[in-house]
Amino acid sequence: MNNTPIIVTEKLTKKFGEITAVNQLTLSVQRGEVFGLLGPNGAGKTTTVRMLAALLIPSAGEARVAGFQIGENDQDIRRKIGLLPESPGLYDSLSAEQNLAFFGSMYGIGNIAEQTQKYLELLGLWNRRYEPVGTFSKGMRQKLAIARALLHEPEVLFLDEPTSGLDPQASRLVREFIEDLRGEGRTIILTTHNLEEADRLCDRVAVISGHLLALDAPGELRRKLFGRKIVFHLLEANQELAGTLERFPFISEVQVVDNKIMAAVENPEKQNPEIIRALVEGGAELQFVGELRRRLEDVYLELMEANEDKNHGKN
C-alpha cells in the first residue's frame, strides 16, 4: 500500500427527494488499501459505492476516483473501476464465456480471450465456460461476477456484499480470492454486513449510518472504543492482588473474574512487565498473560448504539 489516496470524498451527499441517503461523507482511501464500508441496511453503503462508481450523481460535495472528478470524468472513472453489485447481474441465457466476452467488449479491452481464460481459470470456472449461467449455483455466479469486475484490470474494485447469501465454502473461496487480490496491490472497497469478514480483510473500515460514525483500522477502532484489556491468568486470583494493580496510574479499570485479573492498560507493551512484577511480588502465581480481543462486531454495535442514543437525544 502506498500513501497516495486513490479515492477522496469531500462532504459527499446524496438525496433522493426528501431522504438523505448519504450525508456529508468525507474520507480518503489509499492506493492498494482494502477499505470496508460498514453500516446497517439503508445506511447509504450502496449509494456511496454507486456514486463512487459514477452511477449516481452526488447531490452535494465532491469525490475523486483514480484522479478523476465524479460528475465530470465519469467515462474515465468507469474505465478505472470494477464493480460487483449486490446482485451479480449476469445474462442467464449466455454462457460464462459469452458473458465475459460481452463485458470485455464494453470495456474495450483488446485481449478478451486471454483475460477471460485468466479469470475463469483463477476462479475455477474454466471447465464450465460453455455452460449457460442460468445453470450455475449462487457461488459460481458470484465468482463469475467477480471475474467480470476484474476483466479489464481495474485500479479500484468495488465489492458490494460479495459473500452475501453464499454457503460457508463459497464464502471462504471468495474471501481467499479477495486476499489474493489484496496481494496484487489493487484497491478494494468492500461493503459487507459480515463484520468478521471485514475485520479479517480490511486495512481500514468506515462505519456509516447516513453519515460517517467512525473511520480507522479495525484494531484502532477497538482500542479507541474499548481501550486494551490485559488478562492475567493466575493460579488463584483475589481482590488483594487486584488492589495492587489499582495503584498504577496507567491502569484505568481492574476486574477479578474467576482466576483471572483483567486490567485496562494504556500501553501494554511498555507497562506489562511492571504489572507482572507487582503481581509476582504480591504473591501471585502467574500462569500466562493475554490480551482480551474485542470483536469488530462489538465496536460496530457500540457505535450504532451511541448513534441511536444521539439521535434519540436530538428528538
Q: Where does this chain bind another protein (CB under 8 A)?
A: 16, 50, 53-57, 75, 78-79, 81, 83, 85, 87, 89-94, 98, 101-103, 105-108, 145, 148-149
Q: Which of 51/214 has CB closer to another protein? A: 51
How far apart are CB 30 and another protein at their closest, in Å?
23
**Do the beta carbons of residue 7 and residue 65 sit within 8 Å?**
yes
Residues in the chain: 315
**Residue 182 exposure: Cα atoms within 13 Å on the Cβ side:** 19
Q: Which of 54/173 has CB closer to another protein? A: 54
Q: Which of 95/271 has CB closer to another protein? A: 95
Sign of CA pseudo-dihedral 15, 16, 20, 22 = negative
d(CA 149, CA 154): 8
Q: Which of 120/214 has CB closer to another protein? A: 120
How far apart are CB 9 and another protein at their closest, in Å?
18
d(CA 12, CA 223): 28
3-state secondary structure of 168: helix
**Do the beta carbons of residue 115 and residue 151 sit within 8 Å?**
yes
Q: Which of 14/204 has CB closer to another protein? A: 14
How far apart are CB 152 and another protein at their closest, in Å?
8
How far apart are CB 145 and another protein at their closest, in Å?
7
How far apart are CB 72 and another protein at their closest, in Å?
15
